[in-house]
Amino acid sequence: MPVPLTTILIIAADSGPSLRECVASALASSVPVEILLVDNASRDGVPQAVDRACASDERVRVIYNHANLGFGPAVNLGARQAHGNALLVLNPDCMLEPDTLARMLDMVHAHPEAGVVGAVVCDEDGLPDPASRRRDPLLRRSLNAMTGRAKREADGAQYEGVDVAGPIPESVVDVENVSGAIMLLPRSVFDRLNGFDEGYFLHCEDLDLCRRARDAGYKVLLAGNVRVRHAGGGSSAHRPVFVSYHKHRGMWRWFRKFDPAARKPLTGALVACGIAAHFLATAPLLALRRAGRH
């Protein structure tokens, strides 16, 4: 029986040279793929170079946006033009092995209740990113993480933080959230969820999607034995304050949508002030570090 087509959605925004390797690794997948590279008004010329290099490969299409639409809106735009039965959302600095996608698809087929499947994202040294499996960033969990109470997680659920302590099992793990760096969804699930919430520009839209998938009755699963190399964020490195602003903005949006604590006006006001204060305190340091690199 022929293996159905999977659409790989890669969003570029001045993502740098790693984008070339990302596309090449995706094309080497052992299952049929099409690649939709959605470019959010990059100025580094790399999407155009990929477009030229893949001009004779019908599996690759580049969609050019004249402005930076944000991550979620760009994914949704690409998904509307996708032909695959499944969608793999892939960061432009993540590198697939030839069997990565096949193994993740096997998980979807083995678990009909799966709405979102993720993989373990690792750095260049092979160390897993804790964001590969995270809990919902509820206020109490975030405070536990900030104050160090999460180190006592073994003493009870009241101490749990956002990150899940301990090594990631090399098996299928039922989790609350997987990393947005690599997410596989059946096309029917993506459509039922109406894709990403376009109210986020960058960051936390993956947490939002996983939460809505669970609320709709699907499971979020992590393929603990599938490792994906993450080369490091090219898009983030040259504009850290911009990225930090939208990360904080995304945190506030997620809190308002999903945390019961947000229903209390005083708590909501304190959280808003705390998020704003954290951004204002860290933005100058990020700007200085960027200036030092240049």
**Residue 37: inside a domain:** yes
The model's pTM: 0.94
Whether residues 254 and 223 fall in one domain: no
Q: Are residues 173 and 67 in the same domain?
A: yes
Same domain for 218 and 282: no
Please give the average per-residue pLDDT across 192-205, as a whole number.
96
Question: Is residue 288 domain-shared with residue 225, that is, in the same domain?
Answer: no
Looking at the fold, whether 56 and 97 belong to one and the same domain comes out as: yes
Same domain, 180 and 246: no
Residue 235 pLDDT: 57
Domain count, the chain: 2
- Based on the domain organization, do 120 and 50 belong to the same domain? yes
User: Burial of 261 by CB count in 10 Å (0-12 exposed, 13-18 middle, 19+ buried)?
Assistant: middle
Residues 185, 228 share a domain: yes
Same domain, 30 and 102: yes
Asked if 61 and 37 touch (Cβ cutoff 8 Å), the reply is: yes
Whether 211 shows a pLDDT value over 60: the answer reads: yes
Among candidate residues 197, 216, 232, the one where a domain is terminated: 232
Tens-place pLDDT, residues 120-146: 999 999 999 999 999 999 999 999 999
Average of per-residue pLDDT across 181-204: 97
Contact 200, 73 (CB under 8 A): no
Q: Which of 232, 248, 265 corresponds to the end of one domain?
A: 232
Asked if residue 161 is part of any domain, the answer here is no
- The string of pLDDT tens digits covering residues 35-89 is 999 999 999 999 999 999 999 999 999 999 999 999 999 999 999 999 999 999 9
- Collapse the DSSP code of 200 into the 3-class scheme (helix H, G, I; strand E, B; otherwise coil) and give the result: coil
**Cα dihedral 162, 113, 102, 190 sign:** negative
* The predicted structure's pLDDT at residue 286: 83
Does the pLDDT at position 234 exceed 60? no
Number of helices (H) and strands (E), helices first, in the chain?
10, 11
Tell me the CATH number at 64: 3.90.550.10
Last residue of a domain, one of 232, 249, 277: 232
Look at residue 78 in the predicted model and tell me its pLDDT: 98
| Residue range of the domain that includes 68 | 6-128+168-232
pLDDT over 70 (residue 294): no
Report pLDDT digits (tens) over 1-45.
Answer: 677 999 999 999 999 999 999 999 999 999 999 999 999 999 999
